[in-house]
Amino acid sequence: MDAARIASATAPGQRGLTLIELLVVIAVAILLMGWAVPGLQAMNARQEVIAEAHRLRVALSLGRNSAITRRSTVIVCPSPDHRRCDTRDWSAPLAIVLGPLAGSEFDEGALLRVIEAGRGVSVRYRRDGKPVRYGALGRPAGHNGTFRICGRHEQGAELVLSNFGRVRAGGTLDC
């Protein structure tokens, strides 16, 4: 008799979740997602700003090191078409160019490296519209200043280029 009772308690129709249980699980999952998504979006915005700051640091360090190694003037500037400097948008691809520029144009032989464009952020640097020019000793020849990086969700950061050509984090920024 015990075997018959066990068989009837585990019949195939008795397995699984009821509709009410399934709806409760779905409701809890929706609540957790609604709580977690804004935090994930803010974290993603912070990571975009950090990635852009790293991209700028790499480009400026490569420019400075190239100037010291080659004992020549090296220019770091945004270049959307890889043929001229356009300092209005520093989130464009960054060109590292050998030698002084004649205006804003440079030939393909002078292009040392291109660092690809950032995503989802805006970068501002100096209002005078000049690129960063490193001399043979790695100093930016009076072109020090602050890069202001603004991303989504009011996330931002500053990078400071010193008179000695080194780059340091200037802190967070509310955009």
pLDDT one-digit tens code per residue, 68-121: 999 999 999 999 988 888 888 899 999 999 988 777 888 888 999 999 988 888
Residues 6 or more apart in contact with residue 56 via CB below 8 angstroms: 90, 94, 123, 147, 149, 159, 167
Which domain, by its residues, includes 67? 20-172
The first and second tokens of residue 91, run together, are 């989130």
What average pLDDT does range 111-132 have in this prediction? 86
Compare 149 and 173 and report the one with higher pLDDT: 149
When pLDDT is cut at 50, 70 and 90, the band that residue 14 belongs to is low
The model's pTM? 0.77
CA distance 172 to 175: 9
Determine how many CB atoms are found less than 10 A away from the CB of residue 110. Answer: 16
CATH number for the domain spanning 75: value is 3.55.40.10
- Strands of the sheet containing 156-161, edge to edge, are 122-125, 145-150, 156-161, 167-172
Number of domains in the chain: 1
pLDDT at 144 over 80: no
Burial 57-77 (b: 16+ CB within 10 A, else e): bebbebbbebbbeeeebbbbb
Looking at residue 5, what is its pLDDT?
54
Residues 6 or more apart in contact with residue 84 via CB below 8 angstroms: 104, 105, 106
* In-domain check, residue 149: yes
* In-domain check, residue 42: yes
